[in-house]
Amino acid sequence: MTTATLPDTDPPKRGWYKRNEIAVTPWLFLAPAILFFAVYVIIPIFQSFSISLYDWDGLGQAEYIGLANYQELMNDRAFEVSLWNNLKWLVCYLLAIPAGLFIALFLNQTVTGIRIYKSLFFFPFVLSQVVVGLVFAWFYLPNEGLLSAIVGWFGFGPVNVLGDPSWATYGIILAGLWPQTAYCMILYLTGLNAVDPEQVEAARLDGAKGWKMLWYVIIPQLKPATFIAFVVTIIGALRSFDLISIMTNGGPFGQTRVLSFYMFEKALSEYGFRMGYGAAIAVVLFLIMLVFIAYFLWSMYREEQGGR
Amino acid sequence: MFPRPIQQASAPAQTAYKTMLPIALILWLLPLIAVAVFSIKPASDFTQGNYWGVPGSFELFNNYGQVFFNSDMPRYMLNSVLITVPTVIGAVALSAMAGFALGVYKFRSNIWVFFMFVAGNFVPFQILMVPVRDLTLDLGLYNTKTGLVLFHIAFQTGFCTLFMRNFIRALPFPLIEAARVEGVAEWRIFWYVVLPLMKPALAALAVLIFTFIWNDYFWAIVLTQGPDAQPVTAGITSFNAQYRAAYHLMSAGSIVAALPPVLMFFLMQKHFIAGLTLGAVK
């Protein structure tokens, strides 16, 4: 601890606060933030763990049933579908990273008006996911949608992306990739701006160009941007809820549910108020996320040790 | 610079690049352009199946007039403002203080408190849903804007503290030490030395949080219902239910709902991007 270690010239006159000012001040400054965060974030995590052991409709008496909710999950077809869809989201959503890099490379020029192009390419990220969902739902409309119109010009019949159980999830993911790619693009544009021009010139003199240059010289220097892109994309993939709720509401036949959506459905929608079962699903989702959170924190911890 | 500047390429390549730019942009924004076109079409276009053709007539004022004067949209918009603005103020204030504490002082649990904020910021919302809804009900704040604001402040504090703390770490520390040697009280150092230097961070966070909260949908439907308290993201679904299949009105409504964060972004672009890309370069 770093209390002041001045020689005790006038100890009796100074009050307790004055003597401990350096030690106490940070806690006074932290108090409101910690209080809010504890009440609304930290404690609820543990409460959810505990609720998942109960059978509870949110109003009446909660009944302790041990791990029965989790046992039920093991045999729940809808849970299995949701878990698989989460995996699809995770894998496909990561495409936003190379796509964002590609667009960033395309736009990293200095022609007139390029700044406006960059802002407009970034634009989808600012839209609410609700609006993105609506926009894409209309884009996919089976007969009237623009997509059907376009494939119609090429002589194919109308397509019904969101009505087809095997394609609906991919259709939603594509809608999610739109803003996410924009986000990754802006990260990489910032990263490309900071690439060391001398290294690039030196590599050019050594005859590196195109893919080789990108892979061996540029991408290593973009590592911080890639890390952030990775973090936000993983989190975005596991948080996906708005788009599903807006575009398909879990259908057709529940084939586009993911854990976050299924949990909401079980706990709060017309299918019944099963708080305990919903909490159990949330716990599973949390544990999946925990693997990534632990990895992110570990990376940040190493950074801190090296940094200061 | 990578890729090689286009000015060094041949003239045809330059022309090709300059023609590809607008084409790529139009393709990229195609779904949005479609909605914008929808929003100025007359209702008759949709009943006659003229979805993608030239608008039969120009109905911008009629359609947007309907949204503004003949629906609950203005109320939802007002709710959104009344939820978003207090959240921005609260979250930025709390995290400026917390970031100051974590960025300036060395104490043993510093990094653990910091990691608590970072980790909490990453958790899936669903793990918080049942207890937070329950707490809000117990406090009598269910279906109120206050209930939503309190939760948003708490949750956003995680991200904001991460941001503020890293920003304060990068400030020149000797400045603070000099103030201490002068005998300036710690809270005065915060108010008169650190806070003025934090203006860019405060601006960046304010626009980011504004956008995040304005666009929130999940908590809006978990903690509120009906036009008394619901923000516009949730309101747009009831609006759409009211005007089912009236695509011209639904499009106009969506555009109105999306507009404030879009304006915020274009007006405060520099801060917005600085906030989003913090840490993207060493």
CATH number of residue B217's parent domain: 1.10.3720.10
pTM: 0.91
Choose the final residue of a domain: B46, B67, B88: B67
Strands A54-55, A63-64: parallel, antiparallel or unpaired by DSSP? Answer: antiparallel
B26 and B41 housed in the same domain = yes
B232 and B134 housed in the same domain = yes
B112 and B154 housed in the same domain = yes
In a domain, B16, yes or no: yes
Choose the final residue of a domain: B36, B52, B67: B67
Residues 146-165 of B with CB under 8 A from A: 150-151, 153-155, 157-158, 161
Closest A-chain CA to B247: A138
In a domain, B282, yes or no: no
Please tell me which of the candidates A224, A268, A282 has its beta carbon nearest to residue B124.
Answer: A282
B119 and B182 housed in the same domain = yes
Whether B183 contacts chain A with CB within 8 A:
no
Q: Quick: pLDDT tens for A167-183.
A: 999 999 999 999 999 99
In a domain, B281, yes or no: no
Residue B48's domain comprises 6-67
Contact B217 A245 (CB under 8 A): yes
Please tell me which of the candidates A22, A126, A146 has its beta carbon nearest to residue B265.
Answer: A126
B81 and B16 housed in the same domain = no
Residues 203-222 of A with CB under 8 A from B: 213-214, 217-218
Q: Quick: pLDDT tens for A254-288.
A: 899 999 999 999 998 766 789 999 999 999 999 99
Spans of all domains in chain A: 16-63, 74-307
B242 and B186 housed in the same domain = yes
Contact B217 A123 (CB under 8 A): no
SS (H, E, C) chain B: CCCCCHHHCCHHHHHHHHHHHHHHHHHHCHHHHHHHHHCCCCHHHHHCCCCCCCCCCCCHHHHHHHHHHCCCHHHHHHHHHHHHHHHHHHHHHHHHHHHHHHHHCCCCCHHHHHHHHHHHHHCCCHHHHHHHHHHHHHCCCCCCHHHHHHHHHHHHHHHHHHHHHHHHHCCCHHHHHHHHHCCCCHHHHHHHHHHHHCHHHHHHHHHHHHHHHHCCCHHHHHHCCCCCCCCHHHHHHHHHHHCCCCHHHHHHHHHHHHHHHHHHHHHCHHHHHHHHCCCCCC
B110 and B224 housed in the same domain = yes
B248 and B151 housed in the same domain = yes
**A193: chain B residues, CB-CB within 8 Å:** 281
Contact B7 A110 (CB under 8 A): yes
- 0.95 surpassed by complex ipTM: no
pLDDT of A224 above 60: yes
Query: What pLDDT score was predicted for residue A1?
Result: 45
Contact A26 B127 (CB under 8 A): no
B112 and B95 housed in the same domain = yes
A74-307, CATH topology level? MetI-like fold (1.10.3720)
Please tell me which of the candidates A27, A110, A259 has its beta carbon nearest to residue B5.
Answer: A110
B140 and B47 housed in the same domain = no
Q: Quick: pLDDT tens for A76-92.
A: 999 999 999 999 999 99
B73 and B189 housed in the same domain = yes
Total domain count, chain B: 2
B88 and B18 housed in the same domain = no
Q: Quick: pLDDT tens for A14-73.
A: 788 878 888 889 999 999 999 999 999 999 999 999 999 999 887 888 889 989 999 999
In a domain, B1, yes or no: no
